[in-house]
Structure 1
């Protein structure tokens, strides 16, 4: 007799998602909204033209505190926290010794002795474990995955929603502000995963319901992970486990801008420096369909009868009304090259492009 499947975690907003008719799906050990009754296309359109709100409380939250916390994190993760000051946020990578990407995450530099890391749900425990194992005396690594909620309000009208709630909204892209709301400390970062002007809020789990209700009252449309995926792919943002991973390095994924090459050390530096100097055998590019067809992940990219790469992500882009994909291609292929994608036995003509695929209003 097989053992029962382990219970899935749920967001603090789970009862509200049920009330709002969300279609729920398993995701990295959590049961999260895939879409609401309006559907992915309507949710995608709301973010591009007005405003939507996502519950992304499944994302990890790892506090690193103690004297020298910033310096310690800087010795571990790829990007250089010294490029930003207190009150700044930064995209960075946690790599293994071979240069593979354990996870990509956001680092919030709150002070020299306090950093909040937001990794992906599936990798949060592993990131926390690696940091805990490496931490010197005086540095504490604390996993706050369940005690904090994360909401993302995204779209050109997102500042209006923030103003309605009395929350900070005039700070610069990838900077932080904090506001006490009904006794709860809410951290507001001007950032997001959609390419649009937006804000990501980190708040105590018990405060999430009132924030969500306020955003809906201000006119934000609830959006699920389906629209989040189409939005991020239109911008060419990588998804860990598909476009990034232990077998896909930052050099291959064209994420060298998120690596502090001049830092004395970070996890995986020797391997990544060697790969960059030798030139990688493959690189991640965008593919734009030239005919009707929807690319998906793990499809062969063909140059004549020769396979020259594989797609890593693919979808129908609602903003563009055509298929798009990210793909790892042999080094030497550049934007403008025309290839074919094997879509279930049918050859779909595609053009290599440099993402983003769509324009958005973000300062990113």
Structure 2
């Protein structure tokens, strides 16, 4: 039974056929797991996993100087990359809070393709359209949320999966290529959200099912499995990758979230620059670090972190790490507490103090490049 208030991706029927458990996420009905989160997580770390993340937004910015315009809005510097490359970046408010984090595909100086988070797509499109009305002519921003699907093939055998379908694999990290599969266009980017080598594929929405089935056959031929939202979360948490609404939000800045590397500090302008420069110079009042449980127990978001009897922060994400066989969390910790990696803290888990070690993410060594 489905919730009529939730949006559905292009291959909901395939997920049901595979026995998926569904749950709401960002206004969409998403497959959470198939065989089980731990098995799917392990499949990605050891072989290959296939995710359907078609809920992610898609938008195109076209027109003379489109890249130049977008560069005045988003934080990262598009001047660092070239056509055929993609870039992680942030859309900030004037006070430095993060409205969204997204990927920008640099097609040409006059065309950019954006992949924001599902629930934030309208907001990002709105910010870019606002910039156009303030002085850019001949540039259009088109919301293409339902024009393209998004699949992610992740894991050490991911290149074998794509190669078996004749899709490109030999590209730099965060580079993309426009390809053709059985007469259907598909954009392939070497990227992902798991820390493993992997690829994200963007077929047309109406072409999604045959490509997904073909990918799944090749993934399973290499001891892999389809993977749901549960495994996506455990994998990204092991890497310390932020999730908007948890480690990034209108109340959490890139400086606090240790995402300053995605800010073009030397750019003459972008929305939020003055506020972020001020925070960077003064030092953020809190900073994102990792916690690894020393006692048995699973950490969750929204739990108080204690140093002695003093509250020094709060967890933003928490889960059981199938790789480390321990509870892990990301947490915003007060800078005044002076906590460094190796320090021991406690986490209030429903009234029980669970001991944890402060660590600097990632918890697991990445193999993306």
CA distance in 1, matches of 2:258, 2:95: 17
CA distance in 2, matches of 1:6, 1:310: 35
After TM superposition, what 4+ stretches of structure 1 lie above 3 angstroms from structure 2?
A: none
Which residues of 2 match residues 343-362 of structure 1 at below 5 A? 343-362=349-368
CA distance in 2, matches of 1:341, 1:18: 38
Matched, 1:118 2:115: yes
- Write out per-residue CA displacement over residues 201-258 of structure 1, whole angstroms, 9 at most, x where no aligned residue: 1110111111111111112411100100000000000110011100000000111100
Give the aligned partner of residue 19 of structure 1.
Answer: 17
CA distance in 2, matches of 1:255, 1:11: 30
CA distance in 2, matches of 1:215, 1:182: 13
CA distance in 1, matches of 2:262, 2:105: 15
CA distance in 1, matches of 2:56, 2:216: 21
Which residues of 2 match residues 304-315 of structure 1 at below 5 A? 304-315=308-319
Give the aligned partner of residue 266 of structure 1.
Answer: 270
Give the aligned partner of residue 256 of structure 1.
Answer: 260
CA distance in 2, matches of 1:227, 1:185: 28
Which residues of 2 match residues 41-120 of structure 1 at below 5 A? 41-120=38-117
SS of equivalent to 1:148: coil
Shift of 1:362: 1.7
- Write out per-residue CA displacement over residues 38-91 of structure 1, whole angstroms, 9 at most, x where no aligned residue: 111110010000001000000000101111011111110000011010000111
CA distance in 1, matches of 2:157, 2:200: 14
Contact conserved, 2:167 with 2:180, CA < 8 A, in 1?
no
Give the aligned partner of residue 173 of structure 1.
Answer: 173
Give the aligned partner of residue 129 of structure 2.
Answer: 132
Contact conserved, 1:63 with 1:115, CA < 8 A, in 2?
yes
- Write out per-residue CA displacement over residues 6-57 of structure 1, whole angstroms, 9 at most, x where no aligned residue: 6211111111111111111111111110111x11111001000000100000
CA distance in 2, matches of 1:211, 1:221: 15
| Counterpart among 272, 286, 293 of residue 289 in structure 1 | 293
CA distance in 1, matches of 2:15, 2:304: 38
The number of residues matched between the two structures is 358
- Write out per-residue CA displacement over residues 96-134 of structure 1, whole angstroms, 9 at most, x where no aligned residue: 010000000011101111111101111011111111121
The two structures, once aligned, show a CA RMSD in angstroms of 1.0
CA distance in 1, matches of 2:252, 2:366: 27
CA distance in 1, matches of 2:256, 2:311: 18
Contact conserved, 1:48 with 1:360, CA < 8 A, in 2?
no
Which residues of 2 match residues 192-341 of structure 1 at below 5 A? 192-218=192-218, 219=220, 220-331=224-335, 332-341=338-347
Contact conserved, 1:236 with 1:355, CA < 8 A, in 2?
yes
Contact conserved, 1:242 with 1:312, CA < 8 A, in 2?
yes
- Write out per-residue CA displacement over residues 310-345 of structure 1, whole angstroms, 9 at most, x where no aligned residue: 000000000000010000001132211111111111
Gapped runs of 5+ residues in structure 2? none
Contact conserved, 1:285 with 1:329, CA < 8 A, in 2?
yes
CA distance in 2, matches of 1:272, 1:280: 10
Shift of 1:184: 2.6
TM-score by length of 2: 0.95
